[in-house]
A and B are shown apart, each in its own frame.
Chain A
Amino acid sequence: MRRFLYLALRATSALDHRLRERLTPGGWLALGIAGAAFAAGLDTEQTVTYRAFAFVAALLALSWIASLAQRAPLKGLSARRELPRHATAGEPFVYRVVLANRGTRAVHGATLAERFRDPRPAFDEWRRAREPGEERRNWWDRNVGYFRWRWLIERRLPREARAVPLPALAPGERATLVGSFVPRRRGRIELAGFTLARPDPLGLVKSLARIEAPARVLVLPRRYRLPELVLPGRRKFQPGGVSLAVSVGEAEEFLALREYRPGDPLQRVHWKSFARTGKPIVREYQDEFFERHALVLDTAGPNGEDAAFEEAVALAASFVTTLDTHECLLDLLFVGDEVHTFTAGRGQMQPEHLLEVLAGVGPGDPGAFARLAGAVMARRATLSSVIVILLAWDEARRGLVSGLRACGLEVRALLVREERAAPASAPAGVMVLNPGRIEEGLARLR
C-alpha cells in the first residue's frame, strides 16, 4: 500500500511538473475550463458545457501540436552559468547566464528557466523521513504522507526561480542574462540545466528545449546581525601550542635545549644533540597562550530538524561570522553520530569553512547531548569563554552550563524554542529566543 502511495505521489508530482513546464497561465485557465466544462457536461442532454469542453480541448490540442512544431530554433541555443561560490539561505542568489545562439534561426519571445535536479525523494527516504510537526497532523495526512512528500521536495528546491525573458537573438549572437533564486534552506542545491520555453501563437502551451548544465551551489545558513560582543580577553595555555600558528601574538618560539624529562613528546627530541651527547636532549619552546572560545551547537534537540533547529544553526553561523578569529581560536562543537569539532582562526580553518560545515549540519540523536557535554568539559581548561546554543532545557543542559560556569568560564547560553514550548520563566542566565523573532531577542544579547 505504501509503495502504491509512493508511486501515486511520484506520478502526480511528475505530471504537475510537466504541466507547470508546458502550460502558460492561459494554458492553465484553458485546462481548468476544459475540466470544469467536461464535469458539468457529462450528460450532454442536461447542459451544453460539453461544447465549451470540445472547443477548449481543441484549442489546447492544436496549441500543443504547434508548440512541438516551433521547437527547432530553441535547440540551437547554448548556455553556461557564472556562479558565485556560495549562496545564503533566505537571500536572493544572483548569477549570470551567458547565452549564445549557435543555430541558424533567430530566437525571439523565449524565456530561460533554471532546471533543478529531480527533487523527488526515494521510497526509503520518504518512508523514514518525518516532517517537522508531523505528529500534529491528522491520521490521514500522517499515513498518506503527502505533506511529508511536499516538504521533502521543497527542501531541495529554492523559491522564486522565475523564468527570465530572453532578448531577440540572431544566429551567432550572445547575450548575458541575470538569473536568480532564493534558497529556502542551507545545504546544497543541485542544478541540472536550463529549460528554454516559447509560447505557441495562441499563448497556451510552451515549446521546450533543454540544455544540460549540471552544477552545485552550497547554501550557507542564514545569519543574523549580532550586537557588539565583548569576549573575555583572558589567554589560556594551549598545551603543545598550535602547530600551524602564524607569528601573531605569542607564536611558537624556540627557547633552548634541555635534557629529556619523562613526559616530553618524542617529536621534540633533538636527535643531533642526542647523538652528540649520548643523552636524550629535547627542544624547549615557549608555551602558547591564546584566547580560545567554544561555540557549542546543541544538535541533539528533541524535535529533529524543526524551525528551532534551523534557527539554532543560523545563530551559530551568525556567531561564526561575527567573532574576529584573527586574534583568537574558535572551536565549533556539535554532535551527530559522534562529536565533531572544528577550529577556526590563527592559521586554522577560515570562518567561511565553518559556515560550510554548518551548511551541512543535521540533527543528532536526542540522547547524544551527554557526549557533546563531555567533549566540551574535556577542553574547558583551554577555553576563555563558551557560547552554548541549546534546543531544550533539561538536567543535562543545566549541568553543562553550571559546570562551565563553575570552572570560571564566561558562558553565554541561548535557548531556541518555540514560544509555546519555552519554559514560562526563562532559566537564570539563559537567553530564550523564539523562532521567527530571533533578531528581537538578539538585541538583548551583551
Chain B
Amino acid sequence: MSAPPLLLAAAPLFWGWQTGHLVAGTVIGAALAGLALARLRLDLGPAEHASIADLSTIGFVLLAALLAANRGVARGIQEAFIWLPAALVPVLAAQLLSRERRLPLSALFRYLRRLRRADPSVPDPLIDVSAVYLALTLLCAGLANQRGPGYYLGIVVLCAALLYATRPREASLAAGAAMLAAAALLGHAGQLGLSAAQAALEDWILEFGLRAVDTDPFRSRTQIGSLGRLKRDDAIVMRVFAGPEQAGRVRLLHRASYSTLLGTTWVASGAPMVEMVSEPDNETWVLEPAAPQWRVPVATRLESGRALLALPAGTVRITALPANHMQRNAFGAVHVRAPVDWVRYEALGSDSVAGYAPPAEDDLAVPAAERELFARLAAELGLVGLAAEAALRRVADYFGAFSYSTFRERPVPPGETALGDFLTRTRSGHCEYFAAATTLLLRAAGIPARYATGFSAQEYSRLEGAFVVRVRHAHAWTRAWNGARWVDLDTTPAVWLAEEESDAPWWQGLADLARWAAFRWSQREAFKAGDAWYALLVVLALVLLWRVFRGRKRVRDPVAQAAVRRRRWPGEDSEFYAVERMLPARAPGEPLARWLARISPALPEEQRAMLSEALALHSRYRFDPAGISGEGRARLRKACMQLLRAATARPRTAVPI
C-alpha cells in the first residue's frame, strides 16, 4: 500500500496539531510531500537503507532514554513514542529518494540481514512503508491525549482519504462512502462505550479493594462488613521530611473527609471540588489566609499524574509545588495534577485556624439503620449534654477496651448492621470500624463529626531521614467539632501499626533500599543539553549522513536507469509486456502473434492496428540482432502507453479460447 503525497503532508500536520509540535509537523509534512513529488532519485542500495534505518533506531532509542531519564520511565517512553514519526522521517525519506521508491525489508530487520549474510538466497522483498508511516503518525498523535473531538475527526478524515486512494478499482464509491459514514458513527459510539467500560472497570476494582491508594475525594468505600483479611502493600507512597520532634504533627496526614454514610460508603456531600489559582510564582497555593507557624516538607507519589495530597491538620499554604492543576473542597481535600511520578512540596500550617467548613446538618446525621443503637450507646456512656472535650475523652476511653484486627471470619448476623456487630459482639476491627463508629457515636451525642481518611506517618527511616508512609499506613479516624475548631480523634488502638509492622516481609529492608534509590533517581535534576551538546549532535549527524551518502550518484532518469540496470535479456524492458498483462491471458507457449490473432476480434478496430504495430516493433527490439533505432524505440513506447491507457479505461472482457 502506498500513501499519496498529499496524505504524507497532512498526517504530520495533524500530528503536529495534536501534539503541540505544529512547526515540526509542518516541516516534516512539507519535506515528505516535497520528496514524494520530486523527481530526484539517489542510488541507494540495501546497505544504505539499513544504515539509515539503524540511524533512526539509534536516534529514537537515545531520545527515549533521555526522556525516560528526565520524566520517568513510563512517561518518558510515552513521550518518545509521540516523537516516533519524526524519528522515522529518515527511513521514509530514503524510500522516497530511492530509485525503486521502496525499501528492502532487510533495512528494517537486522535478523533478516543476518540471515541473508549466511544465505544470500533468502528473499529480501521491496516494501512500501509510506502507508505504515501514515498509520503510525496517526497513532502517535493520539498519545498526546488531546481530549477534544479533533483527534477522532482527524482519524476519520485521514483514514477516509487513504481508503479512497487505495480503493479497489471496481468498488462502488457510494457503498464505500456509506460504509465509511456508518463506521464513523459506530466508532464514535464504540469509543464512548470503551470510555464508559473503563470507568465501570475502575469502579469494580475499587469495589474489590484492589486499588492501592484511593484518590476519590467524593466518596470512600470502606471494607466494613467484608470477610477475610485486608490486603496490604508495603510500597512507599509518601516521605515526610520532618524530624522526630514533629512526630505528633505528622502522625495523622489528612487527605479527605466525608459527611454522609450510605451503606458502607462515606460520601462528601455538599463539598464540591473547586479549582484553585496559584500565586504568581506558579508554585505557591494558599488554602487559608493565615500566617504559617510551621512547615513540613513532603514528597508524594502520584498515580497517573494525579494525587490527593496528604496534609497535616492546620495546613494553610502549600509551597514549592509546580502542579498543573489544583482543586480543593470545603472538607480539606486537595487534589493535584502534575506530569511527574513524585511531587515535592512544603506544607505550611498554623495551629490556630479553624480551617475547614463549619459544621452543617450532615455532620450530625446518623443513618436510620444505626440510629437506635448509637442513641442507646450515647445515652449509656452519658455523652449527651457533655462538653465536647470531655465527650471526646470518654469516647476515646470507651474504644480503648476494643481490640484491633484486620481479619473478619464470620459474616454479620442477620438483622444486624456491621457496625452494630462491631460494637456489641466482636468489639474488634480495623480502623474503618473505629472511625465510623466514633463518628456516628459523637453525632448521636450531638457533636458534629466527620469521617476522615489519610495516612499515619509513624515509621521513621534513618536511611532517608524522613517518615516513610506505605500503602498499608492508610488510616481512617474522626474529625470532631470541639465548639471552636475541628480536632482529630483517632480511637483505633495504637497497636495497629505495630501489628502490621510484624507482618512485614523479611526482605522489606532490601526493598526499601531499592525504593530509596529509585526515589533519589527520580529526584535528580533533568538533563539539559547545552550548546556544546547540540553542536556535537549536529557534527555526529553530519558525519553519519556523509558516511551514508558519500559516493551516491544521482540517478538522472530514474525509470530508464532502473530499466537498464534490471535488464537481463534484450528487450526485457519493453512496454509491450505491460500491455500483454492488461489484455486477456496468453496461453503458455503461445506465440505473441497467434495470441494477438486470437484476441483481436474482441478488441476495437483502432487498437488492433496499434497492437500490430507495437508487436512488430517489440519483436524487432526483442529479437533483431541489429536492434531498433531510437525513433523505433520511442514509437514502441508511445504505442504501448496509448494501449495501456485504453486498456485501463475499458473494462476487461473475457475472450473464449
- Among B119, B135, B152, B655, which residue has its beta carbon within 8 angstroms of that of A51? B152
**B145, A51: Cβ atoms closer than 8 Å:** no
11 contacts between A and B (CB under 8 A): A36-B135, A36-B136, A43-B198, A44-B194, A49-B142, A52-B152, A54-B193, A108-B651, A176-B585, A178-B585, A199-B171
Q: Is the CB of B651 within 8 A of A168?
A: yes
Contact bitstring A20-42, B, C-beta under 8 A = 1, else 0 = 00000110010011001100110
Q: How far is the CA of A53 from the CA of B198 in the complex (A)?
A: 15
Does B424 sit within 8 A of A, measured CB to CB? no
Whole-angstrom distance between the alpha carbons of A57 and B159 in the complex? 12
Contact check, A109 vs B654: say whether CB atoms are below 8 A apart. Answer: no
Asked if A62 lies at the interface with its beta carbon under 8 angstroms from chain B, I say: yes
Of B181-189, B277-285, B630-638, which stretch is located at the interface?
Answer: B181-189
Chain B minimum-CB-distance residue to A39: B139
Q: Is A231 an interface residue (CB 8 A)?
A: no
Which residues of A approach B to under 8 Å, CB–CB? 25-26, 29, 32-33, 36-37, 40-41, 43-59, 61-63, 66, 94-96, 98, 108-109, 167-170, 173-178, 199-204, 436
Contacts across chains A and B counted by CB atoms under 8 Å: 173
* Contact in complex: A199, B168 (CB < 8 Å): yes
The smallest beta-carbon distance between B649 and chain A, in angstroms, is 14
Q: A-contacting residues of B (Cβ < 8 Å)?
A: 1, 78, 81, 119, 121, 131-132, 135-136, 138-139, 142-147, 151-152, 155-156, 159, 163, 166-172, 175-176, 179-180, 182-184, 186-191, 193-195, 198, 304, 584-588, 651-657
B585 pairs with A46, CB closer than 8 A: no
- Contact A176 B587, beta carbon cutoff 8 Å: yes
Q: Are B143 and A57 in contact (CB under 8 A)?
A: no
| A47, A167, A203: most-surrounded residue (chain B CB, <10 A) | A47
Are B159 and A56 interface neighbours, CB within 8 A?
yes
In terms of DSSP, what is the predominant structure of the interface of chain A?
A: mixed
Known: A108-B651, A167-B652, A169-B654. A45 touches B138 (CB 8 A): no
Give the residue of B139, B170, B655 whose beta carbon is less than 8 angstroms from that of A49.
B139
Is A55 in contact with B167, judged by CB distance below 8 angstroms? no
20 more A-B residue pairs beyond the given contacts A55-B191, A202-B163, with a C-beta to C-beta distance below 8 A: A26-B1, A36-B135, A47-B144, A47-B145, A52-B142, A53-B191, A54-B187, A55-B187, A55-B188, A58-B187, A59-B183, A62-B183, A169-B654, A174-B657, A178-B587, A200-B179, A201-B168, A202-B167, A202-B171, A202-B180
Distance in angstroms from A362 CB to nearest chain B CB is: 23
A residues within 8 A CB of B655?
A: 167, 175
Q: Which chain A residues lie closer than 8 Å to B171 at the CB level?
A: 109, 199-203
State A419–B587 Cα separation when bound (angstroms). 43
B residues less than 8 Å from A40 (CB atoms) = 81, 139, 142-143
| The residue from A51, A174, A177, A201 contacting B151, defined by CB atoms under 8 A apart | A51
8 Å CB contact of B186 from A58, A174, A203: A58
Chain B residues with Cβ below 8 Å from A170 are 654
Contacts of B182 in A (CB 8 A): 58, 62
Q: A41 to chain B: closest CB distance in Å?
A: 7
Contact A46 B145 (CB under 8 A): yes
> Could you say which residues of chain A place their CB within 8 Å of the CB of B652?
167-168
In the bound complex, what is the Cα–Cα distance between A40 and B139 (angstroms)? Answer: 8
Given contacts A44-B194, A55-B152, contact A168 B588 (CB under 8 A): no
Given A49-B143, A52-B138, A55-B184, A203 contacting B198 (CB threshold 8 A)? no
CB distance from A356 to the nearest CB of B (A): 22
A170-B656 Cα distance, complex, nearest whole Å? 12
Please give me the 7 A-B residue pairs with the lowest Cβ-Cβ distance, nearest first. A55-B187, A109-B170, A54-B190, A49-B142, A175-B654, A54-B191, A58-B186
Partner of A43, one of B147, B168, B169, B304: B304
Closest CB in chain B relative to A169 CB, distance in Å: 5
Are A47's CB and B121's CB within 8 A? no
Bound: A56/B194 CA distance, A: 14
Q: How far is the CB of B180 from chain A (nearest CB, A)?
A: 7
Whether A51 contacts B142 by the Cβ 8 Å rule is yes
The smallest C-beta distance from B434 to any residue of chain A, in angstroms, reads: 34
Please judge, given known A-B contacts A43-B304, A175-B655, whether A201 and B172 are in contact too, CB under 8 Å: yes
The one of A32, A66, A95, A204 that contacts B588, using a Cβ cutoff of 8 Å: A95
